[in-house]
Amino acid sequence: MGSVHAYETASGGRQYRIIYRRPDHTQTQERGFRTKRAAELRLAELELAKHRGDYVDPSEARITARMVGAAWLESRAGDLKPSTLRTIESAWKIHVEPKWGDRQIGSIRHSEVQTWVASLAKTHSATTVRRCHELLAGVLEVAVRDRRLSRNVARDIKLPRKVGKERAYLTHAQVAELAAIAKHPDLVVFLAYTGLRWGEATALRIKHVDAVRRRVRVEENAVEVGSQVIIGTPKTHEKRTVPYPVFLAPVIEHLVATRSRDALLFGDGDHFIRRAKSTTGWFNSAVLQVRGETQERIEAATAAGVRPPHPFPRVTPHDLRHTAASLAISAGANVKAVQRMLGHASAAMTLDTYADLFDDDLDNVADALARAADASGVGDVLTSLESGVPTRSRRASSASDSTIN
């Protein structure tokens, strides 16, 4: 057991210190307790921690968050995708390190983290706030596992809710309109009918195409990091095979016939098609043009007193992936097929992501079941219950009438 001792401070005040032995039997002390009771509680806490085997040497918690964070980022460089690592490094440098970098990890309090999160939420999106919080929590979790901290004070923090953005789904006609004026019409149509991610589609090579079965093997993913294009594995690290519709076959067969096996499928075959800039790139320019033309038709139809066309939604290249899911589901694809096409980790993820689309699909299921039940006479059973005459009796009566007639 340790002991509690009073001592006089430089200002003439009275404080307390505790003297105890670490698990390795070396002696140490902690000072600065204002009351004997506080010192006794701390000593009891340490003795209990030693008994449980989760004792943490207070001196280990004097390392700064910057030092732990740098080691954590270095350790994650090998398993994170380049784009993800760059996003995390940016959040660390802009938001986390300036606030916590110079602090000793043992001095950080739960209430301080909560205040910081609330302050960030006033000026930044929920996504940014959650990313910054998870980064700090991840760094402190490393300290806990390294036995520098006994617990992670960044856990159990109230975080802002992410407001789900309403997805935009294009119809078949709208896909055709967009492709007709886009710089890369084949890529637009391919994305809208296969559901591949941008990086997966632009990384496809001729050798990944099975023109006979109309399939592509998704094995690589092209990610832009600054001015570089880095090739890695798909988002879930899982390779998959995805079919493409027959109307894409002539275009793809021509590319397969005229390019080498290692040439890229889209673009000029040698250079990756770079992700279009959100406001000034070729994709958004095409969207703006179609939206403008559609609005003109809406105004003309309204003036003529006829039914106007639907407005063309504001979409991004990634929305073509959502469009592929929508078109597949409306065509009767089940959730497992959509999951495999999109490369989701599970069918549950697909259902969570596109629950709004499967709600409509449920109505179609109910209608199909009703038609099948009518054909087999299931509805007659319920009718007989309402009339009070068993179905078999009514059938027997009908048979007797037929015999008499």
Q: Report the SS3 class of residue 320.
A: helix
**CA 233/CA 389 separation, integer angstroms:** 66
Contacts (Cβ under 8 Å, ≥6 apart) of 153: 108, 109, 110, 113, 140
**CA 114/CA 160 separation, integer angstroms:** 11
Q: Are 113 and 155 in contact (CB under 8 A)?
A: no
* Helical axes 355-376 vs 378-387, angle rounded to 10°: 70
Q: Report the SS3 class of residue 237.
A: coil
- C-alpha angle with apex 233: 230 to 235, nearest 5 degrees? 105
Q: Are 100 and 144 in contact (CB under 8 A)?
A: no
What is the pLDDT at residue 385? 58
What is the pLDDT at residue 256? 94
What is the pLDDT at residue 95? 97
- C-alpha angle with apex 282: 276 to 283, nearest 5 degrees? 70
What is the pLDDT at residue 121? 96
Q: By CB neighbour count within 10 A (0-12 exposed, 13-18 middle, 19+ buried), where does 247 fall?
A: exposed
Domain spans, the chain:
3-55, 62-145, 172-304, 354-405
Domain 62-145 -> CATH class: mainly alpha
pLDDT in tens, the chain (405 residues): 789 999 999 999 999 999 988 888 888 888 899 999 999 998 998 888 888 877 788 888 999 999 999 999 988 887 788 888 889 999 999 999 999 999 999 999 999 999 999 999 999 999 999 999 999 999 999 999 998 998 899 999 999 998 767 888 999 999 999 999 999 999 999 999 999 999 999 999 999 999 999 999 999 998 887 778 888 888 766 789 999 999 999 999 999 999 999 999 998 888 898 877 767 789 999 999 999 999 999 999 999 999 999 999 999 999 999 999 999 988 888 888 889 999 888 888 888 888 777 765 566 666 767 777 777 766 566 666 566 655 555 555 555 555 555
What is the pLDDT at residue 225? 78
Asked if the domains at 3-55 and 62-145 fall in one CATH topology, the answer is: no
What is the pLDDT at residue 368? 67
Domain 3-55 -> CATH class: alpha beta
